[in-house]
Amino acid sequence: MEFNDWINQKYREFRGDAIGHERTQKEFAEWIGVSSSLLTYWRKKNGKKPKQKNTIDKLIKRFGPEVYDVLGLTQTDTIPLDQLPRAVRDRLTTAVYEVNLELGSRGLSGDSPESEDIVIEIFEKHGFKYTRTIKK
């Protein structure tokens, strides 16, 4: 889906079925945290995609990880780790480091079921809940 189609869909969802008060584009822009003129630009056919990190972060905050897909980004392109609490950031960094060491020492790629088992074990050791994505 093109970004302009996606943002138009999100606007329609935002407007909803409010009786007596249809939410405006200005309200939608304020809810996202961008100017109404920028939103107008995005909604146009063949409009530009957002490229500024702070703008992308605002979209991610409102709409979640689907923003990465619609913008053609990988999640590592824009994850604002510096905004996490220091203790969480430190635990996450340590867990990722340990995963990379363990997978590397075993010569595993990140996409195998065995790799996922290792990731789950290490992340849980550091206090993170992990949801399995690969069927065994």
The domain limits of the chain are 3-77, 81-125
Q: Name 52's Cβ contacts closer than 8 Å, sequence gap at least 6.
A: none
**What is the percent of the chain where pLDDT is above 90?**
23
Q: What is the CATH number of domain 3-77?
A: 1.10.260
pLDDT digits (tens, 9 = 90+) for 75-115: 765 556 777 888 988 898 888 888 888 877 778 766 778 88
- pLDDT number for residue 127: 92
Residue in 55, 75, 63, 61 with CA at minimum distance from that of residue 6: 63
Lowest mean pLDDT among 20-34, 78-92, 117-131: 78-92
Q: Is 82 helix (H, G, I), strand (E, B) or coil?
A: helix
| DSSP letter (8 states) at residue 19 | S
Amino acid at 41: Y
What phi, psi does 101 have (nearest 5°)? -60, -50
